[in-house]
A and B are shown apart, each in its own frame.
Chain A
Amino acid sequence: MEEQYINLYKQFNGQIKAHSAPALNASRDASFELFEELGFPTSKLENYKYTDLTEPLSADYGLNINRVKIPVNPYEVFTCDVPGIHSYLYFVLNDGFYPVNDKRNDALPAGVIIGSLSEVAKSNPELVEKHFGKLSSKQKDGLVAFNGAFAQDGFFMYVPENVQLDRPVQLINIMRSDVDFMANSHNLIILEKGAKAQLLVCDHTMDDVKFLTNRVTEVFVDESASYEHYKLENTHVKTTNLATLLIEQKQSSSVLTNFITLHNGITRNNIEIDVNGEHCESLLCGMVIGDKKQQVDNFTSVIHAKPNCHSTELFKYVLDDVAKGGFTGKLYVARDAQKTAAFQTNKNILLNRTAKMRTKPQLEIYADDVKCSHGATIGQLDESAMFYMRQRGIPEKEARLLLMFAFTADVIENIRIDALKDRIKMLVEKRLRGELSKCEGCVICK
């Protein structure tokens, strides 16, 4: 399985590098060597035991290492916006940043840089060199190493000191290809002291072929900065979506991540937060609505290295048919991280005997003055609540829907963009009603 990619790299690494940038190439060979050593993760590894990637990784995908232009303009075909969100809008088409031609983005405050990672690596090398790979190179993970070897571009965002973006930034990942296709991209996000930004990442697929995406995102959140990362996945069943989000938090910073998977094939989200400063807030949320053969595995890791920080995790899954879910909540509290408060909740509803959920809290606590809790439940809808509602004249189907919607409500409450919150409520309701929750007005989704 790995062999073809190893040969590909050996044969074409010159071209891969030629179509990227020096800052990204600096660690490329090292990443490749690590990948040679690790290979792709298998379900024999503790961290991957809930998701078997053998089948999707065995498919024969095309890669676009020579950066051949894709004949599609996302600005023309993509009108799938969240109404009223008024975002700064950007696209990654397959594995590369798509050049911006949106006038709405002209309103970006001075000093903010948003663009192609490989372009910025040439125009502002110092910015990229200082941060690129700082978190990902520490990962002993086959997928991250593979990304380090093959990713040539991605989304870049820099928010200078004390600049607070008034509107959310929206990044749309679009997959477009006539043949089975793999995309590796690397995103880099830097928030300087006191900066504030909200990023909404939407994953979409356009063609009826197999897609595999392996994306790594590194985020640096400096002192007193505030960062929100929303990932909304609405892809087709032939998609394998592998996403690694690595965040480093400095003192008094605040981070919110909210991963919502409404429709997909196989999804693996790695969310790792390094809390590397005192008085930080970290809130990790997620929701999965899965049916048929959907698979979603959220692997989270929060590392408390410094004292007086607060982290909360809240993940909820509703699974039907033969859908499979996985959740890991890894928490590490270092010996010096006294007064850490860390709470973790994973609740799951299985609507059917054949649906499967595996959940695992994994707490390693080396400090003695901490407050940590974890709770995981797997159950069915509350029968007594069902009867109570039916006794008031609400039909069984509607009562089930109200209960499922109520179940996901607290995750939705943790969306701090009002327009997005309303949209997600609507999408979740449609999804739970069994209608396809594809964005209305979206050409690609039709």
Chain B
Amino acid sequence: MLEIKNLHANINGKEILKGLNLTVRPGEVHAIMGPNGAGKSTLSSVITGNPAFEVTHGEINFYGKELLELAPEERANEGIFLSFQYPVEIPGVSMVNFMRTAINEQRKYRGQEPVSATDFLRLMREKKELVEMDNKLANRSVNEGFSGGEKKRNEIFQMAMLEPRLAILDETDSGLDIDALRIVANGVNKLKSPENASIVITHYQRLLDYIVPDFVHVLYDGRIVKSGTKELALELEEKGYDWIKQEVDGK
């Protein structure tokens, strides 16, 4: 479904991604790990089309479409979802209004009629339960005054609402206590199907106890330098990243 070839990307003139390759097929869970500054978050920003980043070389193909030619909203409506590392607060825009607009834009993109009020409310209720989200949060402004855990839950809630084909979870575990982590991971697992895939970006192996990956990649200095199965994550947890750095830099 997703094929990234030789991707190079800059922010403020500084090259962060330096020839990254990655292939994701339906039903797969890919974990991307790596030390600080390796380019993990840049990767998620570039796939979703954050205008702050400039792609200088390479291509990203998603179900036959050239992603780099699409606007962020078109990529979203093609079924790519990013759970933000730092979800943005939007005072004055209610969660309900925000979600309804997003759902209806997605439906419009697919040539469907807007969702009816009753269907929409039912959908909201179902999906809120999935992440055990407090009813009150849905009536507030988007992320405004939410705790760190509530924000992350809200991301998974939105993911459940929008049912993406490819979900990118960017450091979804950061700032979560163990209970919140379980709830978030449960939500993600329940949404898993043979048709959709996820990319889980994380620092720590901890999250991968809950969301079990099919593949683990190590991102270092803008490239994927090592790929393996979930055992690689355990090895990283035990040994840190230094041995990989040495392996790469030594070459």
Contact = CB atoms under 8 A, between A and B. Distances in A.
Are A and B co-members of a single complex?
yes
B51 interface: yes
A409 B94 CA distance: 11
B101 A402 contact: yes
Interface string A392-432: 11111011001101110110000000000000000000000
B48 A389 contact: no
Interface residues of B, number: 31
Interface in A354-413: 382-385, 387-396, 398-399, 402-403, 405-407, 409-410
B109 A403 contact: no
Interface stretch (B24-32, B82-90, B210-218): B82-90
Contacts of A396: 71, 73
B109 A393 contact: yes
B90 A406 contact: yes
A399 B102 CA distance: 10
A396 B75 CA distance: 13
A389 B71 contact: no
Contacts of A398: 101, 105
B201 to A, nearest CB: 15
B63 interface: no
A384 B87 CA distance: 9
Contact of B106 (A384, A388, A393, A407): A393
A387 B93 contact: no
A361 B47 CA distance: 45
B71 A390 contact: yes
Interface secondary structure of A, over-half rule: helix
Contacts of B162: 392-393
B73 A395 contact: yes
Interface string B121-148: 0000000000000000000011000000
B72 A403 contact: no
Contact of B73 (A384, A390, A402, A410): A390
Given A393-B73, A393-B76, A394-B102, A402 B93 contact: yes
B92 interface: yes
A394 B88 contact: no
B91 interface: yes
Interface of B: 48-52, 71-73, 76-77, 81-82, 84, 87-93, 97-98, 101-102, 105-106, 109, 141-142, 158, 162
8 contacts: A383-B52, A387-B88, A388-B90, A391-B49, A392-B162, A394-B101, A406-B91, A410-B92
6 nearest interchain CB pairs?
A406-B92, A393-B76, A390-B72, A388-B88, A392-B102, A409-B92
